[in-house]
Amino acid sequence: MNKAQRNILIIISSILLLLAFILHLSGVNGPLEDSLLITATIISGYPTVKKAVLATRMKAFSIELLVTIAVTGALIIGEYVESAAVTFLFLFGAYLEAHTLEKARSSLKVLMKMSPQTATVIRAGKHEIISAEDIQKGDRVVIRSGEKVAIDGTIVTGEALINESSVTGESIPVRKAKGGEVFSGTMLETGYLEVIAEKVGEDTTFARIIDLVEEAQESKAKTQQFLERFASFYTPGILVLSLLVWIFTRDIHMSLTFLVIACPGALVMSAPVSMVAGIGNGARNGILIKGGDTMEKLAKASGMVFDKTGTLTQGKPTVTAIRSYGINENELLSLAAEAELMSEHHLGRTIVEEAEARGLTTTASSGRVEVLKGQGIKAIIHNTTLLVGNLKLMLDAQIPVRQEAGNYAVQQEKNGNTVIWVGAYDQIRGIISIADPVRAEAKEALNELRANGIRHLVMLTGDNRYNGEKVGRQLAMSKVFAGLLPEDKVSKIRVCRQKGERLVMVGDGVNDAPAIASADVGIAMGIAGADVALETADIVLMSDKLDKLAYAYKLSKATVRNMKQNMFFSVGVVLFLLLGVLTKNIFLASGMLIHELSVLAVILNAIRLVYFPESPFQPGRWIRNFSAYAGTILPKGKWRKYEMN
Amino acid sequence: MKISKIELEELTCPSCINKIERTLSKKEGVQEVRVLFNSSQVKVTHQEDLISADQLVNLIEKLGYRVSGAVHSS
């Protein structure tokens, strides 16, 4: 039975039901109406009965069998309206469920469509179009404008703008050229590339993401386990009840109705459907949440622990400002770079890199260099003494420091920079500021986390106390622990967890792997392509943007809330049905109707998560908006106190 | 040992999981069956000389489920 055939059955039986209803209204009761209803029962019941028979033949229990028994019973006792309505609702309900479920599960399917079917490769100097599955490692793959990338590989020629949103969730295209890496599932917007395939088929990062998300969607959250336990007692319990009712009261109506409501549909559907929608939403945004359990733990987190370098900061010291006196910026930079070329200090390298980035020549000239520990370097080049280092170095060499320069340096240091003075020809020539800048989005992301319920934001760093506290102050962290070895980070996390904190550890996934593994939830970020993190972390943020972290946290809360709504609703419906049947207010057809409606309701509720954070249906917000509006038009005074905030 | 991934039409009732898992795992040559309810897929680890992917598809169809997508084997 395919979809088209099933749809035809639905249409025919609904027409029959409608005709019977019209006959009933026009007062023509009797054999014609009955035969219409019986035909409708048979037509819409056919797929259900067929499934029941097939399953029984394979010695498997099925809900279809219960419905078949109930409907047969209804036919025998002459309740044709009930039998027709039950089979129709069961069939039509399944149709609606399939469609709505598809929507709730759509995120992953949208992603999967991003992997292309074919690709162009150059083999023996010829362009060949082959199936994506047939690409071999080492093949030279051609990618043109508008095409999707089929493999992971390194660019050998060409330049292009690539949209990597399917992998990182970032929709701003990235410019890539020779030596850059491309990922399967991403799209070349404009340009032309030739790439050597390094990972193909199931080994690409993209294929592994899909696989991880598929597995994650199946893993069970605690709530789901609870509901499934409930359901595993529910169905047999209801069947026993049905039998008992029949034995003791001979009330065949009630017994049959019990059979119809025995399917725990909404109950077992409620938790997984929310999870699927939530996990799928994450995956579409470059956030891999590796299971329902992790989702629940993230939502409950009370504290977050961050690594500093590379997580809160960009991880690479850069020249943030240059001020020169008497010469221009580039001249100053070349001077400093020339001296630093001979030193091996990492801040020195930063200066050299900046000079190179600006296209300044930085050939080392022959000269004498003296490294003054803790102060800087003293170089003699072209018969002049060149000093590059801290203020003390300048003062010791008796170079006059003007008030303005001093104030500027203090200001730069307050802003989190390391200040490097350059002195030459017995004068201050300039000040170079270097910092590992805090990520631009860090402050806002952290504020958002705080606003949404994370009480403690802690920083653990291997860096020294001074640098650690600078970043900590900038981001208003609750606590900073500096000078830590990787194992110290692990023990700090252990101690906090013993105190009852539910901790999330956020790091780069490589150096912080042990700390990530020891937290309640380990999050690795910015590792498109790094294999280790995909395995060790509970959550992987594919792009290295901290705003994705705030997004992940909010998503987890929304998902858990959605799941709880579904859980309370479905348990409520079950109790309602039981009460209704026992008080003889609910019979076959109405029982089936309520059952199907409740299943649809939980699916529709979960679909809101697909659209998170822009849900099309937000009664909570509507009420708040309305009351805010009401607040503006209501007279001041006693009404004010009812205003919501 | 071979792993076959069989894609089904949208699975709607979680009771299908037990039905499919139990039926398939009873067969000789089938080592592990996992129904991925949310992605509407069945992953079967089986010995190909005892039971082929086509035979598995056949069994699932006999239970009343349409196999919609390609069978990936690895």
* Amino acid code (one letter) for A351: I
Examine the domain organization and report whether A546 and A445 are in the same domain.
yes
3-state SS, one letter per residue, for A139-194: CEEEEECCCECCCEEEEEEEEEEEECHHHHCCCCCEEEECCCEECCCCEEEEEEEE
The gap between the terminal CA atoms of chain B, to the nearest Å, is 9
Query: Nearest-CA residue of chain A relative to B10?
Result: A98
The whole-number average pLDDT for the span A428-450 is: 90
Whether A395 and A443 map to the same domain: the answer is no
In a domain, A50, yes or no: yes
Cα gap A300→A292, rounded to integer Å: 13
One domain for residues A406 and A496: no
Specify the number of domains making up chain B.
1
Q: Which of A221-225, A471-475, A527-531 has the highest mean pLDDT?
A: A471-475
Domain boundary among A519, A553, A587: A553
Please name the residue of chain A whose CA is at the shortest distance from the CA of residue B12.
A98
Q: Mean pLDDT, chain A, as a whole number?
A: 85
Chain A residue set in contact with B, beta carbons under 8 Å: 1-3, 50-51, 54-55, 57-63, 94, 97-98, 101-102, 105, 108, 202, 214-215, 217-218, 263, 265, 268-269, 272, 275-276
Active site residues per annotation of A: 307
Identify the DSSP state of A432. E
Residue A164 lies in a domain: yes
pLDDT score, position A364? 60
Spatial separation of the C-alpha atoms in residues A533 and A508, rounded to whole Å: 8
Mean pLDDT of A316-335: 86
**Percent of chain A residues past pLDDT 90, beyond the cut:** 26
Residue of B5, B7, B13, B16 for testing the chain A interface, max A β-carbons within 10 Å: B13
User: Beta-carbon neighbour count of residue A462 at 10 Å?
Assistant: 17
Tell me, yes or no, whether A46 lies in a domain: yes
Which tokens belong to A467? 């640098």
Q: Is residue A195 scored above 90 in pLDDT? A: yes
Chain A residues whose CB is inside 8 A of the B63 CB are 54-55, 58, 60
Residue A264 lies in a domain: no
Instruction: Give the domain CATH number at A422.
Output: 3.40.1110.10
Quick one: which of A468, A478, A416 has its CA closest to A447?
A478
Residue A345: helix, strand or coil by DSSP?
coil
Within a domain: residue A545? yes
A576 part of a folded domain: no
pLDDT score, position A230? 82
| Residue A348 token pair | 């020195």
Note the pLDDT of residue A643: 42
Summarised one tens digit per residue, pLDDT across range A260-287 is 888 777 888 888 899 999 999 999 998 9
Instruction: Please state, in angstroms and rounded to a whole number, the distance separating the CA atoms of residues A376 and A387.
Output: 8
Q: Which residues in chain A have their CB less than 8 angstroms from residue B19's CB?
A: 55, 58, 60-62
Pairwise CB contact (< 8 Å): A214 & B74: no
Query: Dihedral angle at the C-alpha atoms of A151, A153, A159, A162, nearest 10 degrees?
Result: 50
Chain B, residues 54-73, CB within 8 A of chain A, namely 59, 62-64, 66
* Tokens of residue B12, six digits: 């709607």
CA distance A589 to A595: 10
The CATH number of residue A505's host domain is 3.40.50.1000
Where are the extended beta strands (E) located within A8-151?
A: 118-123, 126-131, 140-144
> pLDDT at position A645, please?
39
Whole-number CA gyration radius for chain A = 34
B39 and A105 within 8 Å at the Cβ level: the answer is: yes
The whole domain housing A160 covers: 115-204
How would you classify the pairing of strands A303-307 and A456-460? parallel
Task: Residue B29: give the domain boundaries.
Answer: 2-73
In a domain, A419, yes or no: yes
Domain end residue (candidates: A75, A104, A133): A104
Question: Min CA distance, B7 vs chain A (Å)?
Answer: 12
Structural domain count of chain A:
4
Domain containing residue B49: CATH number: 3.30.70.100
| pLDDT tens digits along A13-38 | 999 999 888 888 887 777 888 899 99
Is B19–A263 a contact, with Cβ atoms under 8 angstroms apart? Answer: no
- pLDDT level of residue B70 (50, 70, 90 thresholds): low
Would you call A166 exposed, middle or buried from its count of C-beta atoms within 10 A (0-12, 13-18, 19+)? buried
| Mean pLDDT across A225-241 | 84
Tallying the residues shown for chain A, one arrives at: 645
CB nearest B74 (choices: A63, A202, A218): A202
Residue A64 resides in a domain: yes
Q: Convert the pLDDT of each residue in A473-506 to its tens digit.
A: 889 999 999 888 878 888 988 988 888 889 999 9
Domain final residue, candidates A435, A464, A479: A435
